[in-house]
């Protein structure tokens, strides 16, 4: 009974990262419409007018900046007592061949998609543990379980998110904290265009061995989201928002929520194919650098 009373009094404040557009924006709007106290964030606190009009509280939160993360968590804690729900959504895709992407960009990819997520989670957990209730929702990707050529660094970050979430789920369950992973497939959110914008990569040499490959990856990425065969299986940002809601309202949330027909199809296909068969499948869609 005492545990139930403590849970009833626990803060249910939701902190969502990366809310200026796409999945983060849709999630903040969806949860606010259902009565959750939502703290919507962007790196500088801008671009959130629609969210504040919908009842969200806007905050600046840059997952690459320790002081920014500490300040945001402190602001929510001061008003609510604790961050009750953390939705780690902020992230982007750095495309490019493994050899070709400069290390500064590789580090930036991991800082945003992995290290920022980890540090923000560390900052909210003491409050969740103290109130014996909390939800951590990490927005991963179907790309956390499979890999497409030209996306190795992005996929590596999402594989890391999957592993970290599995470990964390075990470690905090006894404190009343649940951890769930959201695995979107292709989502109509502008993600494809944003990913290709990251492909302005310096040539490896005067006769760039990856130039044609990068051009094909950029084209294939945009077409997958907009007009290719898989585009018909793409989901909407609202689908992801509803999956987040399921994860935070369930008394016993699933470890993973796969979102969109494209994710279900490709993950099922990857699960039954050997590595060699998967490589053959990819060669039907991507040119192999150095061949031909």
CATH of the domain at 103: 3.40.50.720
Q: Judge whether 9 lies within some domain.
A: yes
**Which has more confidence, 100 or 5?**
100
Q: Judge whether 270 lies within some domain.
A: yes
Query: What pLDDT does residue 220 have?
Result: 78
Tokens coding 141: 């990707």
Closest CA to 37 of 182, 181, 236, 248: 248
Catalytic option among 39, 153, 154, 210: 154
**Which has more confidence, 3 or 79?**
79
pLDDT tier for residue 11 given thresholds of 50, 70 and 90: very high
**Which has more confidence, 18 or 218?**
18
Residue 1 has pLDDT above 90, yes or no: no
Q: Provide the β-strand partners of residue 172.
A: none
Q: Judge whether 241 lies within some domain.
A: yes
Residues near 117 by beta carbon (within 8 Å), at least 6 away in sequence:
63, 88, 90, 91, 138, 161, 164
Q: Judge whether 225 lies within some domain.
A: yes
Query: What pLDDT does residue 185 have?
Result: 95
**Whose structure tokens read 């040499």?**
205
Q: Judge whether 291 lies within some domain.
A: no
Q: Could you read off the pLDDT of 161-208 as tens digits, one per residue? A: 999 999 999 999 999 999 999 999 999 876 556 555 666 676 676 788
Q: Judge whether 52 lies within some domain.
A: yes
Residue 253 has pLDDT above 90, yes or no: yes
- Number of domains making up the chain: 1
Q: What is the mean pLDDT of residues 259-284?
A: 95
**Whose structure tokens read 């671009």?**
47
Q: What is the mean pLDDT of residues 242-269?
A: 97
Q: Judge whether 290 lies within some domain.
A: no
Strand, helix or coil at 45?
Answer: coil
Closest CA to 83 of 93, 75, 94, 91: 75
Measured in residues, the chain has a length of: 292
Q: Could you read off the pLDDT of 36-46 as tens digits, one per residue? A: 999 999 999 99
39 labelled catalytic: no
Residue 258 has pLDDT above 70, yes or no: yes
Which structural domain, as residue segments, surrounds residue 128? Answer: 2-283
Query: What pLDDT does residue 226 have?
Result: 63
Query: What pLDDT does residue 284 have?
Result: 86
Q: What is the mean pLDDT of residues 224-230?
A: 66
Whole-angstrom distance, CA of residue 150 vs CA of residue 162: 20
Whole-angstrom distance, CA of residue 63 vs CA of residue 61: 6
């Amino acid at each position: 009974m005492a545990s139930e009373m403590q849970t009833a009094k626990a803060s249910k404040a939701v902190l969502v990262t990366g809310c200026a557009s796409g999945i983060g924006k849709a999630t903040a709007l969806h949860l606010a419409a259902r009565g959750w106290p939502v703290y919507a964030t962007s790196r500088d606190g801008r671009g959130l007018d629609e969210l504040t009009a919908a009842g969200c509280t806007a905050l600046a939160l840059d997952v690459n900046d320790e002081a920014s993360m500490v300040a945001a968590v402190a602001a929510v804690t001061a008003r609510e007592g604790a961050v009750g729900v953390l939705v780690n959504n902020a992230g982007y895709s750095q495309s490019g061949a493994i050899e070709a992407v400069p290390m500064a960009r590789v580090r930036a990819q991991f800082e945003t998609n992995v290290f920022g997520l980890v540090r923000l989670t560390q900052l909210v957990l003491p409050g969740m543990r103290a109130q014996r209730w909390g939800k951590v929702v990490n927005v991963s990707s179907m790309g956390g379980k499979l890999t497409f050529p030209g996306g190795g660094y992005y996929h590596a970050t999402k594989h890391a998110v999957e592993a970290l979430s599995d470990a964390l789920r075990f470690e905090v369950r006894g404190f009343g904290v649940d951890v769930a992973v959201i695995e979107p497939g292709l989502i109509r959110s502008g993600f494809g265009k944003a990913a290709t914008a990251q492909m302005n990569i310096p040539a490896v040499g005067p006769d760039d061995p990856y130039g044609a490959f990068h051009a094909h990856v950029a084209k294939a990425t945009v077409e997958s989201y907009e007009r290719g065969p898989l585009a018909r299986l793409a989901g909407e940002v609202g689908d992801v928002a509803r999956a987040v809601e399921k994860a935070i309202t369930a008394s016993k949330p699933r470890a993973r929520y796969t979102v969109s027909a494209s994710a279900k199809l490709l993950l099922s296909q990857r699960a039954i194919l050997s590595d060699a068969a998967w490589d053959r499948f990819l060669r039907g869609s991507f040119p192999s650098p150095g061949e031909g």
